């Protein structure tokens, strides 16, 4: 069966972390829809791919460009990528997948990197019951509510967090679960990758200020199940 919409994972940091199959699909694509065309252009350039038609596909314009992408998919493969990792995970993509299926267009997802999975494995926590909480809420009350749910879970929960809010999040964890050991991964697979495990207070003491880069926070249950 002809595949018309293909979701292609891209590196979460190190540009060499991309599969041979992903490169083949990117080379053959009629159109590449990207969250930020500048980011995918750097990935393509690093692997000697040029001259591809790139279309911006972001949360802000998804409803406007979806119809055009589906029309293009009837004439040649359309590839969807995010800035890093697998499209559709805390990134635009879900709406396009649903619309493609409703239009009778075949959808395929290539296997590849996912930052929260890498961080969860690095954490050393038992991963039975692993959950993904996406990006933590911006407001303190909602953020602390999400953390309490994670602490009461059956397994660890991985969150994405802004570097600008990480200190506030750790301060909340220090108050809510002061004895619980958690894990933070920063800039995974990049030159300045950092992995820190310990209580929230210990992490606050060890983190360099100001915090920079992409953050994954892994919170285990406060009481083992």
pLDDT computed for residue 225 by the predictor: 56
pLDDT computed for residue 62 by the predictor: 86
**What's the whole-model pTM score?**
0.92
Token pair of 19 as six digits: 């599969």
Among residues 109, 126, 160, which one ends one of the domains? 109
Closest CA to 29 of 47, 57, 5: 5
- Which of 4-13, 23-32, 91-100 bottoms out in mean pLDDT, i.e. has the lowest? 91-100
Closest CA to 162 of 197, 210, 213, 119: 213
Q: 11 and 95: one domain? A: yes
pLDDT computed for residue 46 by the predictor: 97
β-sheet with 215-219: strand ranges across: 131-135, 157-161, 215-219, 181-186, 194-199
Residues 58 and 86: their CA atoms lie apart, in Å, by 15
Residue 52 has pLDDT above 80, yes or no: yes
Higher local confidence (pLDDT), 132 or 77:
132
CATH number at residue 16: 3.40.1010.10
Mean pLDDT of 16-36: 97
Mean pLDDT of 93-104: 93
Residues 221 and 216: their CA atoms lie apart, in Å, by 17
Residues 33, 78 contacting (CB under 8 angstroms)? yes
Q: Which residues pair with 107 in a beta bridge?
A: 5
Q: 80 and 147: one domain? A: no
The number of residues in the chain equals 225
Residue 225, domain member (yes or no): no
Mean pLDDT of 38-60: 96
Q: Please provide residue 36's backbone torsions phi and psi, each rounded to the nearest 5 degrees.
A: -135, 110
Beta-strand pair 107-109/5-7: parallel
Residue 1 has pLDDT above 50, yes or no: no
Q: 47 and 76: one domain? A: yes
Q: Which long-range contacts (CB under 8 A, 24 or more apart) does 132-136 make?
A: 132/89, 132/157, 132/158, 133/157, 133/158, 133/159, 134/90, 134/159, 134/160, 135/90, 135/159, 135/160, 135/161, 135/162, 136/160, 136/161, 136/165, 136/169, 136/217
CATH number at residue 207: 3.30.950.10
The count of domains in the chain is: 2
pLDDT per residue over 125-138, tens digit each? 999 999 999 999 99
pLDDT computed for residue 117 by the predictor: 98
């Amino acid at each position: 069966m002809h595949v018309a919409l293909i979701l292609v994972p891209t590196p979460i940091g190190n540009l060499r972390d991309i599969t041979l199959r992903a490169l083949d699909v990117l080379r053959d694509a009629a159109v590449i829809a990207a969250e930020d065309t500048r980011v995918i252009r750097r990935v393509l350039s690093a692997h000697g791919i040029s001259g591809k038609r790139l279309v911006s596909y972001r949360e802000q314009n998804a409803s406007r460009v979806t119809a055009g992408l589906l029309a293009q998919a009837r004439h040649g493969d359309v590839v969807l990528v995010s800035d890093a990792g697998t499209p559709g995970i805390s990134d635009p993509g879900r709406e396009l997948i649903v619309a493609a299926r409703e239009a009778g267009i075949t959808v395929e997802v290539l296997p590849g990197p996912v930052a929260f999975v890498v961080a969860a494995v690095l954490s050393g926590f038992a991963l039975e019951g692993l959950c993904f909480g996406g990006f933590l809420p911006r407001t303190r009350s909602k953020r602390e509510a999400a953390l309490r749910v994670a602490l009461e879970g059956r397994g660890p929960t991985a969150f994405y967090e802004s570097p600008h809010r990480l200190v506030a999040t750790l301060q909340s964890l220090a108050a809510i679960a002061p004895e619980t050991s958690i894990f933070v991964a920063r800039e995974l697979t990049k030159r300045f990758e950092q992995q820190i495990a310990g209580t929230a207070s210990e992490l606050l003491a060890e983190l360099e200020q100001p915090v920079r880069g992409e953050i994954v926070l892994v919170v285990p249950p406060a009481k083992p199940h």
